[in-house]
Amino acid sequence: MKKNILIVFGTRPEAIKMAPVVKAFRRHSAYTTKVCVTGQHREMLDQVISFFDLEVDFDLNLMKPGQNLHSLTSAIISGVKEVMDAFMPDLVLVHGDTTTSTAAALSAFYSGAKVGHVEAGLRTYNKYAPFPEEMNRQLTGRLADFHFSPTEKAKINLLSEGVSEGAISVTGNTVIDALMEGVERIKNIENHPGIERLKQLTGDNEVILITGHRRENFGQGFNDICTAIKKISSQFKGKIVYPVHLNPNVQDPVNKSLRDLDNVILIEPLPYESFLWLMNRSKIILTDSGGIQEEAPSLGKPVLVMRETTERPEAVEAGTVKLVGTDVDKIVTGVLELLKNNELYHQMSTSYNPYGDGKASQRIVEFVEKNL
């Protein structure tokens, strides 16, 4: 008898990382696999769903202007409950550290289904950094029956918290599965308008890519980041491309400080395929994102992380990533060193990527086969 698998996600990063998981389960005849999206993000989520040709079975469409974590959490719990009643899954798979993941896991637990946590075990052990993601991830871990850890270090974190070793599978990170598929898909796209526009904007110049959106950087953090970018722009002959997050806490300081600089290009957030192309085109990446810390090493791109802590220490230890926080001097020095020191650049761009080989999704399916 077929088992019912429900895969729930709501944001663009989740969709990217769960797309290969969805496809791996749908290839398997032992499962009826359905996808539920909460719409925690909307337009950016839909772009990824379209790019990976994913069929969505339940769309809660919960995104509202000005929504807060309280109302979003309660809406997800209620919305997923209705899906649980309609589909009655044996296993609900959630991803990472979003409000969708935690609320969906709680709703699944209330309904009596088993919960599988993809990208389990990442920790900073500072509940406010990243906020609310650190506690989302820990809470989801407490609710989960199966834990799919990207690395051995993540597994060790779970073991130290009392999780049974038999409930943990070290799979690698599914983002590498998605990255490999995405890069291949881009090769077959001709005259993509977004990519063609990026080619025009960057020309033959060296490119520094910047992304930033973390809540803990709102306010003085983003002011300092902008000050650092200004200083870098005055010493860099290439182009600095910054897809600016739509949150006003990001838009306001970035536009105020950087919009008049000749070699700083401020653009709207990019669809996944355009962003992949831009990452691959860049020389250096400055970010506060978690996923980019995992993706960029597979593309040979050094990453400077504008956060004080990271739940992905493996990349720091491997030498592909360096923490610079929002300290102006550290950001500027970090970038200029990479631009001037060829040996340092080579070390960071050729270091081993600790996050996987592109087979994480298949390992998840194999674990579920044996344990569900």
Is residue 95 annotated as a catalytic residue, yes or no?
A: no
Point out the catalytic residue in the list 117, 123, 133, 137: 133
Q: Are 331 and 146 in contact (CB under 8 A)?
A: no
Q: Which one of 41, 123, 137, 213 is the catalytic residue?
A: 213
Is there a catalytic annotation at residue 213?
Answer: yes
Q: Which of 57, 142, 245, 366 is catalytic?
A: 245
Q: Catalytic: 215?
A: yes
Catalytic residue among 215, 216, 308, 366: 215
Catalytic residue among 97, 273, 288, 314: 97
Catalytically annotated residue among 119, 177, 294, 311: 119
Clarify whether 133 is annotated catalytic: yes
Among this protein's residues, is 12 annotated catalytic? no
Query: Would you state the torsion angle of the CA atoms of residues 326, 327, 330, 331, taken in this order, to the nearest 10 degrees?
Result: 40
Is 204 marked active-site?
Answer: no
Q: List, by residue number, the catalytic residues.
A: 97, 119, 133, 213, 215, 245
